[in-house]
Amino acid sequence: MTSLSLRKIAASGCGVAELIGARLTCRPAARESATGIAPGRRAALLPGHDTAARRRQPNLRGSPMEPNESLGHKPVLLNEAVECLQCTPGKTYVDGTAGGGGHSRAILERTAPNGRLIAIDWDDHALERVERALEEHRDRVLLLRDSFARLPAILKERNIPAVHGILLDLGLSSFHVDDPERGFSFSQPGPLDMRMDRRNPVTAADLVNTLSQAELAELIYRLGEERQSRKIARKLVRARAEAPITTSDRLAEIVVAAIPPERRTRLRHPATRTFLALRLAVNRELEQLQAFLDGVLDCLHPGGRLAVISFHSLEDRLVKQTFARWARACHCPPDWPACRCDGQALVRPVVRKPIVPPPEEVRLNPRARSARLRVVEKVERR
Ligand SMILES: C[S@@+](CC[C@H](N)C(=O)[O-])C[C@H]1O[C@@H](n2cnc3c(N)ncnc32)[C@H](O)[C@@H]1O
């Protein structure tokens, strides 16, 4: 198991730096927690947790995205996202994270009768669902199993010079969390998998059973912003010496045992941040997002819009900083020694502040509570 997994990780080109996302500047104590709940909003969202004592009662029932909250996937910020894309008949759009087909369907409805949609998801099960959900519009949809990071290549391979709007709704769908076989849930036993694209050779079990203690601690700290990362890594290494860690519930138990009771909070399951870190690493989510952002402006017509819905602070920060750089007159990457651009902004922000879901949407769909929608419009070159 160990040497095979190490070979798989090596073959996938991931050192721990790549898994963590080497181009990211990760700071601990981000604005949002790993659950994505901004500290100032917690009281409103979770009434009755106002004393420190109550806050320390551990939550061992499940994460904010655990199955009791969802039946199928409810699209988040649906109207807001589709409005911002200015969907127009006759034009072409991309949904880079088709998931359950909710946003895709809304785009198709608003672009009827002749707008076109390229719907992408790297999860084969998701694509099957999307195909069913979009059945009535099938002659206007191109369904692709691929990564949105490859969008420039996807368009080039099909001789599509550019599109009029692109949407990303990042992360997991409720279908992932609700299916114990996918290994994302810490309250339901399942194989420790966590791959969204099951062609990916590396699972969470591979990482947990083969990375060194120092690498595990670094990964859990950087990607999960988990302050107890060293303790957790130590426990994981001890536990795997007894038997490889192969199930999501055993991983959760080990992490819970590693976190001192006084460090637990009733706001989230103690394993939330560790699960988040592993999931981000297995799917190289920040790297995918960075690669997408590096190429996406070439995929848009002038006047075309890009809308991104993110769910945690690391991905939101990447989007926010990139959009801010594009909107400045000089938009050279920060590590270039001198300005090499022509001093024109590449985009215009469509909204100054991120759009967040209204309280009613959060009440009906708690998963929406950490969502942030940012939108820019590509500007016409002078
Ligand atoms: C939050 S769900 C999207 C839900 C969808 N907007 C809806 O309304 O049903 C995110 C989806 O994006 C997919 N995904 C995540 N990263 C991806 C990537 N790099 N390339 C393609 N699909 C990705 C996941 O497999 C998942 O199905």
Q: Supply the CATH number for residue 181's domain.
A: 1.10.150.170
Tell me the sheet residues that pair with 118.
94, 142
Q: What is the mean pLDDT of the chain?
A: 85
Q: State the pLDDT confidence band at 8, using cuts at 50, 70 and 90.
A: low
Distance 252 CA to ligand 1 centre (A): 25
Contacts of 373 (CB under 8 A, 6+ apart): 77, 80, 81, 84, 307, 308, 309, 351, 354, 355, 356
87 part of a folded domain: no
Query: Which range marks the domain in which residue 238 is found?
Result: 2-53+175-283
Compute φ and ψ for 191, nearest 5 degrees: -65, 145
170 CA distance to ligand 1 centroid (A)? Answer: 6
**Total structural domains in the chain?**
1
Could you tell me if residue 72 is inside a domain? no
Q: Using 50, 70 and 90 to split pLDDT, how confident is the model at 334?
A: confident
- Give a yes or no: residue 99 inside a domain: no
Name the CA radius of gyration of the chain, rounded. 21
In a domain, 230, yes or no: yes
Q: Which atom of ligand 1 is nearest to the CA of 309?
A: 1
C-alpha of residue 86 to centroid of ligand 1, in Å: 21
Does pLDDT of 62 surpass 80? no
Task: State the distance from the centre of ligand 1 to the C-alpha of 56, rounded, in angstroms.
Answer: 34
Handedness of CA 7, 123, 225, 227 (dihedral sign): negative
Find the residues whose C-beta lies inside 6 A of ligand 1: 73, 75, 97, 99-103, 120-123, 126, 147-149, 169, 171, 173, 196, 288
Q: How far apart, in whole angstroms, are the C-alpha atoms of residue 208 and residue 243? A: 12
Q: Is the pLDDT of residue 44 over 50?
A: no
Residue-wise over 288-310: b if at least 16 C-beta within 10 A, else e?
Answer: bbbbbbeebbebbeeebbbbbbb
Q: Calculate mean pLDDT across residues 8-22.
A: 56
pLDDT in tens, 71-124: 478 999 999 999 999 999 999 999 999 999 999 999 999 999 999 999 999 999
Does the pLDDT of residue 372 top 90, yes or no?
yes
**Phi then psi for 293, rounded to 5 degrees?**
-65, -35
Q: What is the pLDDT of residue 94?
A: 98
In a domain, 233, yes or no: yes
Residue 21 banded pLDDT, cuts 50, 70, 90: low
**How high is the pLDDT of residue 23?**
44
pLDDT band at 347 (very low <50, low <70, confident <90, very high): very high
Residue 344 belongs to some domain of the structure:
no
Give the nearest ligand 1 atom to 103 CA.
Answer: 8
Q: Is residue 349 part of a domain?
A: no
Which pTM does this prediction carry?
Answer: 0.85
- Please check whether residue 261 lies inside any domain of the structure: yes
Average pLDDT of the residues in 137-159:
98
